[in-house]
A and B are shown apart, each in its own frame.
Chain A
């Protein structure tokens, strides 16, 4: 075999009869002399079952619809722009963005909203998933029920909840009044509006978290629970010692997806409050949209870039941390 004669026989003996392209990979790591590597590359080129041209169609569309607009976004955020003509103004848009107290407040709202919704979705999703995999009566129906809000339109949900949360006539406050509680002005109280929207977002999104967790729980082998029971673990101990560590891949998925979704969320806020009252529930995405509507295209593009950088700064360390911990599991 050519392969064997070109390489150090001892270290590669185990490769005989294995999948050639896997062998290529291992060999490239271990080979010392350049001549060997070249031979290996030629063979890999001919034999690889994973050709790079698979990237081409996807990357082409991705570049066309994403990379080009994004690159132009970075450019136009440095201009004063009316869609037809632009003048270069450097970082003026960014300066303006950070000078405006309402816009800066929007950044904080975004962070609060994102962490509140993603944290609650993760915790509630896990608890609901545990509940809905424990063999309850109506289990199938209950699973469908909790997932149903995910399927309906966000705008529709927002409008319906805005009606139900009307301070005097809305169903929620009427019901609360009937049992003697003076309901708060859910969406008209500036202190409360952002949290109200966050609650509705959680209501709508918790079904997806539950679904991912149910799939994650299904992949935990029952033997762990059996072993834990034999060792005398209680239900609570089983939850903390078996379920929570082993469902970790699902936790990472839920946390990252809902955090990114929360940081970028726009439609439910727009449907319920339009960022109001005042600027009380404005997040970055709605601020950007308002600037865009007002015709400040350069400024709104700068806002988009800020949002991107912010999401990257928040998500990157979290992804790194979660993935590293997962390796140590």
Chain B
């Protein structure tokens, strides 16, 4: 840790404190005030702390509706995420690995789902599947860090386990990339892939190969 990084670190911390943390302090302090005091909208220390009363009031409101809501949310979330993880991974896997007209149609339908807003948010499945395809197509085999959503983690597992099948049917050994396996000049192969007309979905696969080849060009 250089001196410079320490100084920039402190400055960033100060800026982030004002921009990202102060609003949450405001939320917390307001949540601890009684009704009259909170209505003044002041950024001030509460004269009396009402944390527990406010907390209980929220829970008790409308005959403990909050607890029921939590229960419902949990059931919906767990159920939905489970389904999304399993089903969208299945679809994304097939779309990615089996280029063809059928999958072009499926992909286009799912893309439409991402853009439509009618029917509310009941269609989380669409973005998830698209994300699966994007993840397989766009991310390095070693994405490093921070795959925020559960299904992404799942897809990564799927991807790693099956990366052996990528690249013209040859088998990878551990640690190899597409560059190591594709014979000849990578640029020529890249051009060959580009000239192959295999529909929109297949471009994702082509892109993956290019992305894997990319590090060898310098």
Contact = CB atoms under 8 A, between A and B. Distances in A.
Contacts of A148: 20, 24
Contacts of B23: 157, 160-161, 164
A219 B140 CA distance: 6
Q: Is the interface of B mostly helix, strand, loop or mixed?
A: helix
Contacts of B21: 145
Contacts, number: 202
Contact of A58 (B13, B87, B98, B218): B87
Contacts of A264: 117
B206 interface: yes
Interface stretch (A4-12, A166-174, A188-196): A166-174
Interface stretch (A114-122, A270-278, A308-316): A308-316
Interface of A: 15, 18-19, 22-23, 25-26, 29, 48-52, 54-55, 57-59, 61-62, 65-67, 69-70, 73, 131, 134-139, 141-142, 145-146, 148-149, 152, 156-157, 160-161, 163-164, 166, 169-171, 174-175, 203, 208, 211, 214-215, 218-219, 221, 223-224, 227, 249, 252-253, 260, 264, 285, 301, 304-305, 307-308, 311-312, 315, 323, 326-327, 329
A57 B85 CA distance: 12
Contacts of A252: 138
Q: Is the interface of A mostly helix, strand, loop or mixed?
A: helix
Contact of B125 (A61, A73, A141, A311): A61
25 contacts: A18-B170, A22-B168, A50-B93, A55-B90, A58-B90, A62-B126, A66-B119, A69-B122, A70-B119, A73-B118, A131-B12, A136-B5, A136-B8, A137-B8, A137-B10, A138-B9, A138-B12, A142-B13, A149-B20, A214-B145, A249-B138, A249-B211, A264-B117, A307-B118, A311-B117
Interface of B: 1, 5-6, 8-10, 12-13, 16, 19-21, 23-24, 26-27, 30, 40-43, 83, 87-88, 90-91, 93-94, 97-99, 102, 106, 109-110, 112-119, 122-123, 125-126, 129, 134, 138-140, 142-148, 165, 168-171, 194, 196, 198, 203, 206-207, 210-211, 214-215, 218
A163 B170 CA distance: 61
Contacts of B169: 15, 18-19, 22-23
A26 B12 CA distance: 54
